Amino acid sequence: MENYENESELGILYPELLSKYNGTYASIIIIYCIIVVVMTYLIFFLRPTLKMLEERKIKKN
């Protein structure tokens, strides 16, 4: 433990110093969720959606 100046402060969090990172963390989580939803749609629902639209077009003609 000789690398630390004050060992009594080990493990203490300072919210006022970390608050500027909380907004960044939240925006990263939101972006990640959007990416997951879009990728899920593209992987599982794009082909059935295109087939449905094609069938509607055929029925109209």
Q: Give the pLDDT score at 26.
A: 85
If one counts the domains in the chain, the total is 1
Q: Give the pLDDT score at 4.
A: 66
Q: What is the mean pLDDT of each run of 10 residues along the chain (61 residues)?
A: 70 78 86 97 93 92 74
Q: Give the pLDDT score at 3.
A: 67
Q: Does residue 3 sit within a domain?
A: no
Q: Does residue 11 sit within a domain?
A: no
Q: Does residue 1 sit within a domain?
A: no
Which range marks the domain in which residue 24 is found? 18-60
Q: Does residue 54 sit within a domain?
A: yes
* C-alpha pair distances (Å), 41 with each of 18, 37, 54: 35, 6, 18
Q: Give the pLDDT score at 2.
A: 61
Q: Give the pLDDT score at 12.
A: 78
User: Quick check: 56 and 48 in contact, CB under 8 A?
Assistant: no
Q: Does residue 10 sit within a domain?
A: no
Q: Does residue 6 sit within a domain?
A: no
